[in-house]
Amino acid sequence: MACDAQTFSGVTKDQFSGLMQKAQAAGIGISSNSGTASQSGVTMTWNYDPASQVLTIQCTDSPFFIPCATINSQINDLVKACVS
């Protein structure tokens, strides 16, 4: 089940680097400005444009028992923690 994409503005390169480090520590292989990664049945896509400082993240697949509201809330919390 695909969830709505989330877009975050004003994400600096340093903040995106910090987000990548947190994701890698959690076992999610984010190592470039855009891509797809899967873990535990959850597949995420992301695109970061350093010129406009815009990050878009979307869960494109997840188990039926994990609602989009939960996934998007966790993504939002993680990004907000890295960009604040």
pLDDT of residue 10: 95
> 3-state DSSP call for residue 6?
strand
Q: Which structure tokens are listed for 2?
A: 């695909």
Q: Which structure tokens are listed for 50?
A: 């350093």
Q: Domain for residue 14, yes or no?
A: yes
The CATH number of whichever domain residue 23 belongs to comes to 3.30.310.50
Q: How many domains would you assign to the chain?
A: 1
* Structural domain span for residue 74: 6-83
Tell me the whole-structure pTM to 2 decimals.
Answer: 0.90
pLDDT of residue 26: 76
Q: Domain for residue 1, yes or no?
A: no
The string of pLDDT tens digits covering residues 1-58 is: 799 999 999 999 999 999 988 888 877 778 899 999 988 899 999 999 999 999 999 9
Q: Domain for residue 78, yes or no?
A: yes
